[in-house]
Amino acid sequence: MATQALPETLAHVPEGAADTPDIRLVELRKSYGDVVAVDGVDLEIAPGEFFTLLGPSGSGKTTTLRLIAGFERPDSGRVELHGRDVTRVAPYERDVNTVFQDYALFPHMTVGENVGYGLRVKGVPRRERRGRVDEVLRIVRLPGYADRKPVQLSGGQRQRVALARALVNSPRVLLLDEPLGALDLKLRQEMQVELKRIQREVSDIGITFVYVTHDQEEALTMSDRLAVFNAGRIEQIGAPEEVYERPATEFVAGFIGVSNVIERDGRRFTVRPEKINILDAGDDATTGDTVETGRVRNVVYVGMFTRYTVELDTGGELTVVKQNLESSPRDTLEATGKRVRLEWRPEHTYAIDPGGRA
């Protein structure tokens, strides 16, 4: 689909604003009683970025989002939006909109009325309001749906309406709190692609997306950059490929995808399952590669690939992933108990020191 020019009503980025982060968090801290939810977070997010806050439940990512939105106030630290300190500013006075997992659409209103509700509250004239609603429905690929009721829509369509309602106000920052969590897997994967497309379409007018999720695949699929949260702190910030290929800590290595952590000669290191070749025990290894031998303890057939768990002769175990290019399910499942040789290239190994840093 060709990208069309957006109307001037949605354009609001002042000249030179790209030099100032849309969001800056400085030593942000928030506690609930004895529980420290956010513990000294520093973060900068550039205009137009799709930035993801990723982490397990209780890691502090959602609290950080709520601090940006103004729904919570920090115990200490500072929240800046577009260079302005908004730490003590009310949510409705911040140039942000939030999309939640619960669509929260008004069931008695049409799609167009739901999307245009915020504009109506602001006193935007009806003709202008209708034009902006039609334009944002085009962006979310729901043209012609303005007169339908939410009950007539699928889950994915309702999520797009909720997104359109947030976008139509043209906020500088759009906050998304696990908005795809209620969708089934296939629809969630489709919406991941759609969200990224929408973000690219509106990035030229400076809308910054901040996305909260515990789903690693979502974060890797959609993000320009991401921050991995753990116990109220940020463990690593970087582009998806950087965080995946070069995890900074053992926690990141284990949380982003699947990673092996093994110890040799008092040193710990990580290697990703897909970087390991699994060969018959008698096969020759490639010169210069790291080699381990062992026995297959478990085999899991996952359609496109098979996951092997191998107990190593020198101690520990490795998970190995192999694409099912030629082998049949029967062949792979019969590999349990088989002696094998594992090899991987040295550059795919990342050492972890005793302090936990890679």
Segments in 122-267 forming alpha helices (H): 126-139, 155-167, 185-203, 216-222, 240-245, 250-255
Q: Which residues lie below 8 Å from residue 218, measured CB to CB, with a gap of 6+? A: 52, 180, 188, 192, 211
Residues of the chain above pLDDT 90, percent = 58
Average the pLDDT over 203-209 and give the result: 80
Note the pLDDT of residue 287. Answer: 54
Report the amino acid identity of residue 99: V
Report which secondary-structure segment, H or E, holds 330. Answer: helix 329-333
pLDDT band with cut points at 50, 70 and 90 for residue 259: confident
Note the pLDDT of residue 236. Answer: 95
* Domain 8-248 sits in CATH 3.10.580.10: no
12 or 118: whose pLDDT is higher?
118
| pLDDT digit string, tens, across residues 315-336 | 889 999 998 887 777 777 788 8
Note the pLDDT of residue 14. Answer: 44
Please determine, for residue 169, whether its predicted confidence score (pLDDT) is greater than 90: no
Residue 127 CB-half CA count within 13 A: 0
Note the pLDDT of residue 28. Answer: 97
Note the pLDDT of residue 1. Answer: 38
For residues 325 and 261, what is the distance between their CA atoms, to the nearest angstrom? 27
Q: Which residues lie below 8 Å from residue 261, measured CB to CB, with a gap of 6+? A: 250, 253, 254, 268, 269, 270, 352
The residue extents of the domains of the chain are 8-248, 258-352
Please determine, for residue 357, whether its predicted confidence score (pLDDT) is greater than 70: no
Per-residue three-class SS string for 58-87: CCCHHHHHHHHHCCCCCCEEEEEECCEECC
* Domain 258-352 sits in CATH 2.40.50.100: yes
Please determine, for residue 93, whether its predicted confidence score (pLDDT) is greater than 90: yes
pLDDT band with cut points at 50, 70 and 90 for residue 285: low
